[in-house]
Structure 1
Amino acid sequence: MARMKGAIVVNTERCKGCNLCVVACPLDVISLAKEVNLRGYNYAQPILTDTCNGCSSCATVCPDGCITVYRVKSES
């Protein structure tokens, strides 16, 4: 049976580390990095990439539109 698998891409230079996406993710896929971007913010990054189901909750709450969500069918 096919199931949906997701992947997120974060524009790390636009991210201001507001943490809204981390709170919104039901599967705890996103975390703030310890590193900072060129503007001095801790940016969001995916940490559990195999867990993402592509629900796009993170992209919906992002005030700066920094997150792009991709969904593909997985045959497993």
Structure 2
Amino acid sequence: MIQINEEKCSGCSYCVLTCPVDALTSYYVVEVNEKCTECKICYYNCPNYAIILPHGGS
């Protein structure tokens, strides 16, 4: 499952808005839930490079 680097995350919610399975939520910090399919759409849309892919994938 992906992770969010909270130090880099600005809270812009681009990842939340682009996730096709609603695996991300954003209130005060972005959180990932079990719906995540590791499709990487959030990774490619994050302007702050705050998405950490599993196993260091790209």
Q: TM-score, normalised by structure 1?
A: 0.64
Residue type at the aligned position of 1:63: P
Gaps of 5+ in 1: 1-6, 34-41, 72-76
Rounded Cα–Cα distance in structure 2 between residues aligned with 1:22 and 1:13: 17
TM-score, normalised by the number of residues in structure 2: 0.82
Q: CA RMSD in A?
A: 1.5
Larger Rg: 1
Instruction: List 4+ stretches of structure 1 deviating above 6 A.
Output: none
Percent of paired sites with the same residue: 31
| CA shift for structure 1 position 24 | 0.6
Hey, what does 2:30 align to over in structure 1? Answer: 44
Which residue, 11, 19, 26 being the options, matches 1:17? 11
Q: Which has the higher strand share?
A: 1
Q: How many residue pairs end up in the alignment?
A: 55
CA distance in 2, matches of 1:13, 1:54: 21
Give 1:52 shift: 1.2
